[in-house]
Structure 1
Amino acid sequence: MSLYHHLDGRDALLDAITESVLAGIDPPPPTGVFADDVRALAVAFRAVALRHPRCAPLVLTRQLGSFAGLRPA
């Protein structure tokens, strides 16, 4: 059975992969210090990127319009 039977084509598959990887990011609570918050979010993203190294370029270049892709960090 093809994956495309469950999804609406290649773009939907790539979006689903990207959303799944992004959902694995556990954003730390904000500290109120912008530089510290950005650094902590980058560290959280790096942890996910290390778990899914072949997906990192996809996540960094894919534009999502779905709720999962737009949810606040």
Structure 2
Amino acid sequence: MARIPSMVDVLRLSRVEAGPFQVIFDAYGQVLDQVSARSSEAATAMAEFANTLRSVANTYDEEEAAGVHRMSNIY
């Protein structure tokens, strides 16, 4: 997701390049802006999600190790 904004920039056209499609040139630019912005937001959200999952996994591993240790001393 983090690479998409730079890929979107490659798709940008000038008015001259748009040629006969100048009628939709402004809308085209707005779509590219939205795709770039949403992709940046998604990259941030995915990084936060991944960090949360890593934290949960680490906590689970720590609690599992502590629980196994306690159970092994029962007998």
Above 0.5 in TM-score?
Answer: no
Q: What's the TM-score bracket when you normalise by the shorter of the two chains?
A: under 0.3
TM-score by length of 1: 0.28
Larger radius of gyration: 2
